[in-house]
Amino acid sequence: MAHDTHHPGTGQDAPLWPWLAAAVAALLGLAAWTQFSASPPVALQQLAKWLPTLLLGLGANIGISVLAMALGTVAGLLIGALSLSTLAPVRGATRLYVQVFRNAPVLVLVYFSTYVFPFELQLHHWRLPFPDWIKVVLGLALPASANVAEIFRGAVQSIPSAQWEAAQSLALSRRDIFRLVVLPQCVRRMLPPWMNLYASITMATSLASLVGVHDVVDAAQIASNTVSRTDFTALIYASLLLLFFAYCYPIARATQALEARHARH
Amino acid sequence: MADSSWLQEAVQATRALGLNYAFVLDAGERQAFARGLWVTLQLCAVTLPLSLLAGVGLASGLNSPRAWLRRPTRVFVELTRNTPTLVQLYCAFLVLNLLINQQLQGRAGNPLTPFAWVVIVVALHKAAFHAEALRAGLQAVPAVTLEAARSLGLSSRQLLLQVELPLALRFALPSLVNNLVDAVKMTAVASAIAVGDVTYESIMIWTQRDNVLELLLLILLYFGLLTWGVSRAGRWLENRLRMPGYGT
Amino acid sequence: MPATDAPKNPPQKAVPTPLVSLRDIHLSFGANEVLKGISLDVLPGQVVSIIGPSGSGKSSLLRCITGLLRPQLGTITVGATRVDRLRHEAELIALRRRVGFVFQQYNLFPHLSVLDNLVLGPVRVNGRPRDEAEHQARELLQRVGLAHKAAAYPGELSGGQQQRVAIARALAMQPELILFDEVTSALDPETVGEVLTVIRELAEDGMTCVLVTHEMRFAAEVSDEVVFTEAGRVVEQGPAARLFGNPQQERTRAFLRRALGASLGSQSYAPDNKVVALPIDRFRFAI
């Protein structure tokens, strides 16, 4: 339903990409300057030197987020499906799971998975190291799964009951109704909140630095301590902010575009 | 002490379950943990109202007809919403704080403690989400209702205060309460800059005693209690402000 | 099909100065021209109905009178005020205190009780003291038959009840003139009657009314003047008996044929209780 508003500048009035394009251009200009100029500021030189390390760290963050989201989605869909079960105890158990892992601070869950899981796994006589980043993946998969379960349940419940009635009147079984009528519509409704969740999980990977994973935040801290200049510290943390922004903001915009497209249906 | 006996019984009971809560029997550690509980409560008590105020401010900035106010506000909101709180906290505490200290050159004390920085960062982070929720709420007010109010002769100001904002608030309330619950959970990042909240105190204890699981259970219970409290308050408010029969 | 015997206030016999005067109104939304030169006069105490197909700009016309829309061309006068010249909000507010508006979708404020809906305007805009406004509000609710619903919320009322509250809300401002924008179009047929009753009583009490409506029978019964518009222009206007009984333009006849349909029979509804025989052979229904 389209509401015309009387407020100027609601929503995305000025597209942000001109600003971003300008920022990227400025950064590239700075980079070029440091490479080709005789005496660029020391801080910028150092930034150029540390940038590959930062980007490597960011790769670790992205890797963790993708794995955590994949795991969380599979588990969440399962739990979401169980939450619609006809058996009350099953529904209760899933409700408890969702409540616990949605209300727990993500930091606490990351600590939980890091410290509670063993240092290494022993399978017969093989010793598999259980690296920290996998623990973070598991730790983030827990709230991811709880949220995916909620998103799934919300999407199924948002299908108007009229659809159910129509499908039932066609003598479709409950299973078939799910498969042919409800789930295809659910996927579309689930996509925007799911994308939002992915952006949140990516931002939560920054907590991995607190449990010893060598991610981008950790790299920035090492760089800052190594170079030990105020202007460089300011620069590297600003870059850290911008790196996360460059990754998460396009996701947010894509989500909004997706929502806007479906709102017209 | 009179209460040490029931504490000992409680510790014994949990030991039977395989959990080691011996730390509560140590006065120093017990008090440290209690302090942590109190600091977390304080963080929530200050951050939540501040975030709402800042959210209203940002929302009015986003809706302002003046572009010089609106554009920077939107840039700020997008930056804050799309970057991690931890990184924002580091930027604030490790960079801004450092710069402030350098400017002060040790002349006067820096009034911004780490506690204050956590409050500022979390409140502003959540304010960005509040602002979006309020914007969505304002958009949800039907244009025809505003037309009716205008046709009664209400001025723009009266329209805003009597019709638009009350309705927008009611529409935005569930999102706002969700954001506040998130804010409670977010205060845990305080431990990253050594603010003595419950997470930090727990880390101190478990590095000595290696009872991570036990402490995490307590922390989960405590945060669960706080988020439940905020949800209840939110539901009470929703009931008070509900519009009977609306939407039917 | 009952003929009414509601006595009508005759228009002023002395040189009448219109309360509302529209001259050559042109209104466009972007490239879409909705009003293409409408002129209209409403005398004090008159009831004027505007009928016509959807999309002929009737609702936009009403909104121009109260300053919610601004025409590109033309003049609008309400009393001594040139509405098309108003610039400042204070001037528009002064106008809207004198002109009441009732919407198709009632548009009551859902977060306020019925009583608060009625009291908001008088207290905030007219500056009346609250208890005086409440007293008047209760009287108005009594008048529209909803005194027992003062504490209810709009969401708890039926459509007809909400519309009656909306009329009471417009009356609470003590306007000189009330505009009704298709106020029964969103209602169930059973509740249409209760709203029309209220409007009929208002008209009988001498309130100047301009109605945009699809209720032809009602328009015939209650109006002094009926205006038929189509595609943004006035096609025909005149006293109800003449427009319904003996329409001059073919487009008017075509519209009335479609709008009145099979329920027409051989009677029309003239205000002076005379049953006028319709020249029924002009109306051939496709069966």
pLDDT, tens only, B143-170: 999 999 999 999 988 998 999 999 999 9
Cβ <8 Å between B216 and A106:
no
Cβ <8 Å between B189 and A217:
no
Question: How many structural domains is chain B composed of?
Answer: 1
Q: Across the 265 residues of chain A, what is the mean pLDDT of every consecutive 10-residue run?
A: 34 56 69 61 82 92 96 94 89 92 92 80 73 92 94 85 80 80 83 91 94 92 87 88 92 88 65
CA separation for the pair C244, C86 (Å, rounded): 37
Confidence band of C270 (pLDDT split at 50, 70, 90) = very low
Residue C262 has pLDDT above 80, yes or no: no
Residues B106-141: b if buried by 16+ CB within 10 A, e if exposed: eeeeeebebbbbbbbbbbbbbbbbbbbbbbebbbeb
- Asked whether C and A share 3 or more beta-carbon pairs under 8 angstroms, the answer is no
Q: Is B143 on the interface with C (CB under 8 A)?
A: no
Residues of chain B contacting residue A213, judged by C-beta atoms under 8 Å apart: none
Cβ <8 Å between C93 and B246:
no
What are the tokens at C285?
A: 């229904």
Of B121 and A185, the structure prediction assigns the larger pLDDT to B121
Q: Which of A203, A231, A249 to mutate to test the interface with B (most CBs of B within 10 A)?
A: A203
At C284 the pLDDT is 40
Cβ <8 Å between C68 and B156:
no
**Which DSSP symbol is given to B96?**
I
For position B83, which CATH number holds?
A: 1.10.3720.10
Residues of chain B contacting residue C66, judged by C-beta atoms under 8 Å apart: 151
What is the domain range of residue B165?
Answer: 22-239
Confidence band of B8 (pLDDT split at 50, 70, 90) = confident
Residues of chain A contacting residue B62, judged by C-beta atoms under 8 Å apart: 9-10
For B26, the 3-state DSSP assignment is coil
pLDDT tens string A136-156: 999 999 999 999 999 998 888
Q: How many residues does chain C have?
A: 287
Q: Is A3 on the interface with B (CB under 8 A)?
A: yes
- Adjacent-strand bridge partners of C179: C101, C210
Taking the CA of residue B244 and the nearest CA in chain C, the distance in Å comes to 6
CA separation for the pair B133, B115 (Å, rounded): 27
What are the tokens at B93?
A: 């505490």
Query: Is A33 among the domain residues?
Result: no
Query: Is A16 among the domain residues?
Result: no
What is the domain range of residue A251?
Answer: 41-263
How are beta strands C225-230 and C233-239 bridged, if at all?
antiparallel
Query: Could you tell me which of B43, B26, B18, B72 has the C-alpha nearest to residue B193?
Result: B43
Q: Is A61 on the interface with B (CB under 8 A)?
A: no
Taking the CA of residue B219 and the nearest CA in chain C, the distance in Å comes to 40
Q: Of B70, B75, B188, which is closest to A105 when you measure between CB atoms?
A: B188
Taking the CA of residue C24 and the nearest CA in chain B, the distance in Å comes to 23
Helix, strand, coil share (%) of chain B residues, nearest 5:
80, 0, 20
Cβ <8 Å between B152 and C105:
no
Cβ <8 Å between B244 and C101:
no
Residue C191 vs residues B133, C161, C187: alpha-carbon distances, Å: 38, 8, 6
Residues of chain B contacting residue A198, judged by C-beta atoms under 8 Å apart: none
pLDDT tens string C32-62: 899 999 999 999 999 999 998 887 789 899 9
Residues of chain A contacting residue B227, judged by C-beta atoms under 8 Å apart: 103
Cβ <8 Å between A103 and B224:
yes
Average pLDDT for C75-104: 89
At A13 the pLDDT is 46
pLDDT tens string C178-233: 999 999 888 888 888 889 999 999 999 989 999 999 888 888 888 999 999 988 88
Query: Is A24 among the domain residues?
Result: no
B 168-187: CB under 8 A from C: 170
Of C237 and B21, the structure prediction assigns the larger pLDDT to C237
Residue of B nearest to A221 (CA): B90
Q: Of A3, A14, A224, which is closest to B142 when you measure between CB atoms?
A: A3
What are the tokens at B28?
A: 């120093």
Cβ <8 Å between B84 and A8:
no
Q: Rounded to 5 degrees, what angle do the CA atoms C171, C172, C177 make?
A: 35
Confidence band of C272 (pLDDT split at 50, 70, 90) = very low
How are beta strands C20-29 and C32-42 bridged, if at all?
antiparallel
Q: Show the 3-state SS of C33-95.
A: EEEEEEEEEECCCCEEEEECCCCCCHHHHHHHHCCCCCCCEEEEEECCEEHHHCCCHHHHHHH
Residue of C nearest to B142 (CA): C107
pLDDT tens string B66-115: 888 888 899 999 999 999 999 999 999 888 888 888 777 766 677 888 99
Q: Give the chains touching B; criterion: ≥3 Cβ pairs < 8 Å.
A: A, C
CA separation for the pair B34, B166 (Å, rounded): 40
Residue A264 vs residues A1, A15, A260: alpha-carbon distances, Å: 8, 21, 7
The letter for the amino acid at B137 is: G
As a whole number, the mean pLDDT across chain C is 84
Residue of A nearest to B135 (CA): A10
Query: Is B101 among the domain residues?
Result: yes
Q: Of B155, B246, B248, which is closest to C89 when you measure between CB atoms?
A: B155
Residues of chain A contacting residue B139, judged by C-beta atoms under 8 Å apart: 3, 5, 7, 10-11
Cβ <8 Å between B170 and C108:
no
pTM as predicted: 0.78
**Which DSSP symbol is given to B156?**
H
Q: Of B142, B151, B162, which is closest to C124 when you measure between CB atoms?
A: B162
Q: Of C68, C107, C111, which is closest to B170 when you measure between CB atoms?
A: C111
Query: Is A5 among the domain residues?
Result: no
Query: Is B1 among the domain residues?
Result: no
List domains and CATH numbers for chain C: 20-282 (3.40.50.300)
- Residue C73 · residue C24 · CB < 8 Å: yes
Q: Of A108, A203, A237, which is closest to B95 when you measure between CB atoms?
A: A237
Query: Is A25 among the domain residues?
Result: no
For position A80, which CATH number holds?
A: 1.10.3720.10
Residue of A nearest to B75 (CA): A16
Average pLDDT for B19-40: 88
Phi, psi of A211 (to 5 degrees): -115, 20
Residue B102 vs residues A228, B176, C287: alpha-carbon distances, Å: 14, 38, 93
Q: Among B123-132, C142-151, C174-183, C188-197, whose mean pLDDT is lowest?
A: C188-197
Question: How many structural domains is chain A composed of?
Answer: 1
Taking the CA of residue B32 and the nearest CA in chain C, the distance in Å comes to 48
A 172-231: CB under 8 A from B: 199, 203-207, 209-210, 217, 220-221, 224, 230
The letter for the amino acid at C98 is: R
Residue B1 has pLDDT above 70, yes or no: no
Residues of chain A contacting residue B64, judged by C-beta atoms under 8 Å apart: 9
At B130 the pLDDT is 94
What are the tokens at B135?
A: 């914007």
Q: Of B151, B167, B170, which is closest to C101 when you measure between CB atoms?
A: B151
As a whole number, the mean pLDDT across chain B is 89
Taking the CA of residue B191 and the nearest CA in chain A, the distance in Å comes to 10
Cβ <8 Å between A203 and B85:
yes
Query: Is B3 among the domain residues?
Result: no
A 104-123: CB under 8 A from B: 104-108, 111-112, 115-116
